[in-house]
Amino acid sequence: MKNPLDSLWGTVIAGFVLTIILYYIVKTAIGG
């Protein structure tokens, strides 16, 4: 499997995916 960080746009997409994952983790932690 190709490392997404080798591609600039793969890096940007990885950043947005991580944002969504952390968003739901924090939202759950807050109890929202």
Partner 1 sequence: MEMLPGIYRWIHVMAGIMWVGLLYYFNFVQVPAMKAAQADSSAAGISKHVAPRALFYFRWAALVTWLAGAALLSSHFVAAFTFQAGYQKIGVGAWLGTIMLLNVWGIIWPNQKKILGLVPATEEQKNKARRIAFLASRTNTALSIPMLFFMVAQTHIPL
- Interface with partner 1 (CB under 8 A): 3, 5-6, 8, 11-12, 14-16, 18-19, 22-23, 26-27, 29-30, 32
Q: Which amino acid is at 7?
A: S
* Residue 11 beta carbon to partner 1: minimum distance, rounded to whole angstroms: 5
Nearer to partner 1 by C-beta: 1 or 29? 29
* One-letter-per-residue 3-state SS of the chain: CCCHHHCHHHHHHHHHHHHHHHHHHHHHHHCC
Nearer to partner 1 by C-beta: 1 or 19? 19
